[in-house]
Amino acid sequence: MHGLYLSRKCGDIRQISHELLGLHCWFHRNVAFSALIRGAPLIGWKTALTKTWIHHALHGVDIDDLPTLLALNSGGWRWGEPYKTIADRVVALMEDGVYSRTEMRLIFADDYDRGTIERALSPWGGVFCELARLGRVAFRDMTSRDFDLIDAEPTQTFEEVLPGLFRRFLAAYGPATLTDAAWFFGLAKERKKALFALDLDKYVRFEHNKSIYYYIDDNADMADIPELMLLSGFDPLIVSYTDRSAVLPAAYKKAVITRSGICLPTIAVNGQVAGLWNIKKGEPVVEFFEAQPKRIRDAAFELVDGIRWGTRGQL
């Protein structure tokens, strides 16, 4: 929790994103929630970070970090030549000022069948996801559905960036296993093996439930686990590890992570998820899974109300 800015505060959203190696933003408001929970105001947040695909999902990223992060899954075009041709036309259209999928669908309608267009310009990514992986496009801002051209192509190899990024991962997310790191970075099977070839002796380690956990002992003064705290949807504390049982009790997993894979905003009591929170129709909503003392219920409502005010006019 210290590394993830949950037991301390950080007033800069770019610093939070840098140290956490990106903020998960399947829904952009979760980045806003995550920033406020960790102490950062939202003034200028829509352009402070770049929304794009890294690891295995959409994230809000410090643009200066993007070439390094993209190098983890770099490589040539992977979709085949027909879609490469479409991608080249997409780039040309953006150079001419066309930025939305809707406009591009109309432009391509005379040249491709509907199925090809839907796959290429899919709302789940399509050729934009591939172009983003190559560091050539990103969303125009954190809340936009349109894209823009960027210049963030990786300048280093996977082997060059992995040691430094693994160390940064442990600084924020440790103690963690090599499997956690592979999951977090979205590494393909062959590249997972490179983690085991790193110089792991420089890190502190311990064994728990037959797994080896690594971390960096920097002698930092760490605060106690907060009695009560909010976690954003897709909060790094929950989604960044293969074993989530320490934070998310098995009995509540289905209530927190939906069948479609959506991870909802949660309330943690003494470090474990104990309920859900949200802002619906402009009002704070708090729901505990089991009975809690009135002071906990009241304090949770106040925290959510603070998020409501902090996001007012920003989403």
pLDDT of residue 258: 95
Q: What is the pLDDT of residue 189?
A: 87
pTM listed for this prediction:
0.94
Extents of the domains making up the chain: 76-133, 228-311
Which pLDDT does position 82 carry in this prediction?
Answer: 86
Instruction: Report the pLDDT value the prediction gives residue 223, as an integer from 0 to 100.
Output: 83
pLDDT by position in tens, the chain (length 315): 999 999 999 999 999 999 999 999 999 999 999 999 999 999 999 999 999 999 879 999 999 999 999 999 988 898 888 899 999 999 999 999 999 999 999 999 999 999 999 999 998 889 999 999 999 999 999 999 999 999 999 999 999 999 999 999 999 999 999 999 999 999 988 899 999 999 999 999 999 999 999 999 887 788 889 999 999 999 999 999 999 999 999 999 999 999 999 999 999 999 999 999 999 999 999 999 999 999 999 999 999 999 999 999 998
What HEC string does the chain produce? CCCCCCCCCCCCHHHHHHHCCCEECCCHHHHHHHHHHCCCCCCCHHHHCEEEEECCEEEEECHHHHHHHHHHHCCCCCCCHHHHHHHHHHHHHHHCCCCCHHHHHHHHCCCCCHHHHHHHCCCCCCHHHHHHHCCCEEECCCCCCCEEECCCCCCCCHHHHHHHHHHHHHHHHCCECHHHHHHHHCCCHHHHHHHHCCCHHHCEEEEECCEEEEECCCCCCCCCCCCEEEECCCCHHHHCCCCCCCCCCHHHHHHHECCCCCECCEEEECCEEEEEEEEECCEEEEEECCCCCHHHHHHHHHHHHHHHHHHCCCC
Residue type (1 letter), 255 = A
